[in-house]
Amino acid sequence: MPLAHPVRSAVLFLAGALLLTATGCGGGSAAPGAQNPPAKNPAGGAGQGYPVTLDDNCGRRVTVDRSPQRAVALDQGAAEILLSLGLADRMVGTATWTDPVLAGLEKENAKVPRLADRYPSFEKVLATEPDFAAASFAYTLGKGGVADRERFEKLGVPTYLSPTDCVGKDNSGDGDGVRTRPLTMDTVYGEIRDLARVFDVPERGEKLVGQLKSRVTKATSGDDFTDARILYWFSDAESPYMAGCCGAPGIVTNALGAKNVFDDTRAEWPQVNWETVADRDPDVLVIGDLTRRAQSAESAAKKIEFLESDPVTRNMTAVRKKRYVLLSGQAMNPTIRTVEGIEKVAAALRSYGLAK
């Protein structure tokens, strides 16, 4: 996800009180959300099936000794998976939001404190006495984000990083990473299953995966979209972030059999000048409609205002014909809401007469 990376002005410290707080986690006894049956181990004890070990989570072996009762979700994508699994009553904080919560999760989300709209301090996270931390992006659990995984794990807090941001991806550069192979929804489904296993609710994970798969099948059946040429614009009017071939927008494009006009770059979100964008002249513009205020032209309205007034962009085919598809930032990130992206782009291509 394109971000203006903040620089912390102070060195975080681990005071003795914080150490005692963190190592004393796991004593909560809240039950899962009412819309799902109780977890097998609601009291947070070790219980049958524990410890749970994930042998390779983005290069780390993660062991969870008991069912988490005080989880923090440090990115919106991770939060929405946990909420969708009916785990709001076992969460003590969320952070780093780009959009309103997924429709239908509002009531559950209201139960969980929001620690920050972007990155909370490590101390603020530790003050919640977490016993598990999940994140969607490597940056969140790295330098400049909340804290690296070692700092959590030294305090006995297991961490989970979404495989969508590491499997088949190189994050060693300064940007948002480069895909070494195309991302697929199977990786998202794997994340759901991992988290459901950690929280001892595997049946909920399978139910959610089944629902998402059914939606993809329904959205993509019956039409041919191979002639549609699409551009995905996430944020920033001055140095715009456009989607490369193989991240979440690639999932959308490939599911529909359409073409991304920047499918010749494996960078996750390359910054492309507007002259190059105009030369590619897409049929449809998929626009990120963000509520955050980190960069210029975050909302769809601001993006469209720019497109229709700038002399370089206003004569593009998609702009002249007003062929816009508005998506949440989360639908353009590798999350459960990528399915929403498939649905909305498919519906728009049909409405614009670009289906055969």
CATH at 328: 3.40.50.1980
The pLDDT value given to residue 2: 63
50 within 8 A of 71, measured Cβ to Cβ: no
d(CA 36, CA 203) in angstroms, rounded, equals 10
Question: Are 240 and 202 part of one and the same domain?
Answer: no
Co-location of 93 and 55 in the same domain: yes
Residue 26 above 60 pLDDT?
no
| 3 in a structural domain | no
* 263 shares its domain with 294: yes
Mean pLDDT for 62-78 is 97
Per-residue pLDDT at 167 exceeds 90: yes
Judged against a pLDDT cut of 60, whether residue 5 lies above it is answered with: no
Range scoring the smallest mean pLDDT among 3-7, 118-122, 134-138: 3-7
Return the structure tokens found at 303: 């993006």
Cβ-based neighbour number of residue 40 at 10 Å: 14
Q: Are 1 and 177 in contact (CB under 8 A)?
A: no
Q: For residue 163, give the nearest of 269, 56, 91, 270 by alpha carbon.
A: 56
Tell whether 77 is covered by a domain. Answer: yes
% of the chain residues with pLDDT over 90: 81
pLDDT of residue 14: 38
164 and 92 in a single domain? The answer is yes
Whether the CB-CB separation of 264 and 256 falls below 8 Å is answered with no
Residues 207 and 298 in one domain: no
User: Which of 214, 236, 256 is the endpoint of a domain?
Assistant: 214
In this structure, is residue 5 part of a structural domain? no
Banded pLDDT at 298 (limits 50, 70, 90): confident
Give me the phi and psi of 206, to 5 degrees please: -65, -35
- Read off the pLDDT of each residue in 72-76 and give the average, rounded to a whole number: 98
Q: Which of 151, 182, 214 is the last residue of a domain?
A: 214
Query: Pick the residue with more confidence: 34 or 37?
Result: 37
Question: Do 20 and 141 belong to one domain?
Answer: yes
Q: Are residues 147 and 244 in the same domain?
A: no
What's the domain count of the chain?
A: 2
Residue 139 shares a structural domain with residue 193: yes
Residue 31: pLDDT band with limits 50, 70, 90: very low
Q: Domain range spanning residue 299?
A: 223-351
Alpha-carbon distances, residue 135 vs 79, 161, 229, 294, 350 (angstroms): 8, 5, 32, 19, 35
The reply to whether 71 falls in a domain is yes
Whether 255 shows a pLDDT value over 50: the answer reads yes
> Which contiguous run of DSSP H or E holds residue 61?
strand 60-64
**Average pLDDT for residues 142-151, to the nearest whole number?**
94
pLDDT tens-place string over residues 315-327: 999 999 999 999 9
**How confident is the model over 186-212, as a mean pLDDT?**
98
On the question of pLDDT at 23 being above 70, the answer is no
Asked whether residue 182 carries a pLDDT value surpassing 60, the answer given is yes
Are 61 and 194 members of one domain?
A: yes
Report, as an integer, the average pLDDT of 223-234. Answer: 96
The average pLDDT across 11-37 equals 36
- Nearest to 200, CA basis, from 25, 16, 19, 36: 36
**What's the rounded mean pLDDT across residues 204-231?**
97
* Residue that finishes a domain, picked among 189, 214, 239: 214
Is pLDDT of 155 > 90? yes
Question: Both 120 and 250 in a single domain?
Answer: no
Mean of pLDDT values over 141-159: 95
- Give the residue from 212, 276, 286 showing the smallest Cα distance to 249: 286
Residue 356 placed within a domain: no
User: Could you tell me if 292 and 145 lie in one domain?
Assistant: no
pLDDT band of 173, cuts 50, 70, 90: confident
Same domain as 244, residue 120: no
The 3-state DSSP class for residue 287 equals strand
Q: Using an 8 Å Cβ cutoff, are 36 and 139 in contact? A: no
pLDDT at 295 over 90: no
pLDDT for position 296: 75
The whole-number average pLDDT for the span 67-90 is: 98
Taking all residues of the chain, what is their mean pLDDT, rounded to a whole number?
88
pLDDT at residue 45, rounded to an integer = 52
In a domain, 24, yes or no: yes
